[in-house]
Amino acid sequence: MDRRSGRSEGRRRKWRGAALAGGMGLLAACERGPQSALHPAGRNAEAILDLTLILVAGGGVIFLFVMALAGYAVIARPERFPGSRAWIIGGGLVFPIVTLTALQVYEFAVARHLSDTGGVEPLRIEVTGYMWWWEVRYPDVRVEGGEVLRTANRLVIPAGRPVEVVVTAADVIHSFWVPSLGGKMDMIPGHENRLILVGERSGTYRGQCAEYCGAQHALMAFDVVVEPPDRFEEWLAAERRPAAEPEVPRQAAGRDAFLRAGCGSCHTVRGTSANGAAGPDLTHVGGRGALAAGTLPNTPEALAGWIAGAQHIKPENRMPSFPILGGDDLHAIAVWLESLK
């Protein structure tokens, strides 16, 4: 970044901070946490925040001006309005139309900028929304056997590189939204939409389904992990590998119990005979930050609880509960899954 662009960025940040502090004091309290549209971590999210502040300020100016005219018209004596027609046309028509047109033109310019990759080849990621979880595919990344790399409820992207997220839905309409990185995009069955994300600051950012999609809509979250380019390549190399062999007897017992219970008919664990496609790929489930699309922490205890009572924890999801599993098998399966980093 050169000195001039650095000064421009500094002024923009100062202006944004002043706007948040002065004109949006109530919203400023929300500028915390990994899911905040007021805490951008990428250029597209910053552009959307700037656009929001300008639109709110412009709309506020129009509202205050028109209300001031209306108040003056009520309070002032009639003789003070010799040209009332001019006041109505100028203040009630010309001023709002000119101001709103200028804001609309600016909005269109920002919208076009959001799809610009700056001539850089974007990383393509495909995300499919299900009731109520997210399947994530890296179509240009192949695992052993030549299949496309699949994961669930978690996107890992390189910092600074544009990412083209291609979204669709398998059942009902969902909406993909990572407030700290970009805008919303609807996910429609049988149709693909695209949006560009650019994560410029390393970290983990929370996304959420932003379209009501059923009883467990509120429990349909995901993580976007922004990694430096070298660490992203390390992550890709690790994800390409099949599940690690059990290191202790307890893990081996868990793998055998998992397969014996028929879990492999819905889930894939590469390196085993489990090759189901109805549910999330669990090859590296132990390395994810949460379970069941952000519903539970990723711990052996939570894993065991989810397997035994998925319908109690998240009713109507497509994962059946397995109360028939004995305590030893249940704990062993949880220990094995937690080891799959």
**CA end-to-end span of the chain:** 37
| CB-facing half-sphere around the CA of 277: CA atoms within 13 A | 7
DSSP state for residue 93 in the 8-state scheme: I
Confidence of residue 111 (pLDDT cuts 50, 70, 90): confident
Question: What is residue 71's predicted lDDT score, i.e. its pLDDT?
Answer: 81
Beta strands 123-130 and 163-169 are parallel
Q: Which two tokens stand for residue 194?
A: 């695209």
pLDDT of residue 299 exceeding 90: yes
Question: What is residue 288's predicted lDDT score, i.e. its pLDDT?
Answer: 92
Confidence of residue 1 (pLDDT cuts 50, 70, 90): very low
pLDDT, tens only, 47-82: 899 888 888 888 888 888 878 877 877 777 666 665
Q: Which two tokens stand for residue 226?
A: 């922004």
pLDDT, tens only, 158-212: 999 999 999 999 999 999 999 999 889 999 999 999 999 999 999 999 999 999 9
Using a pLDDT cut of 90, give the percent of the chain over it: 59
DSSP string computed for 6-74: HHHHHHHHHHHHHHHHHT-HHHHTT--SSS-TTS--SHHHHHHHHHHHHHHHHHHHHHHHHHHHHHHHH
Beta strands in 153-248 (DSSP E): 154-158, 163-169, 174-177, 184-187, 193-197, 203-209, 221-227
Question: What is residue 21's predicted lDDT score, i.e. its pLDDT?
Answer: 45
Mean pLDDT of the chain: 86
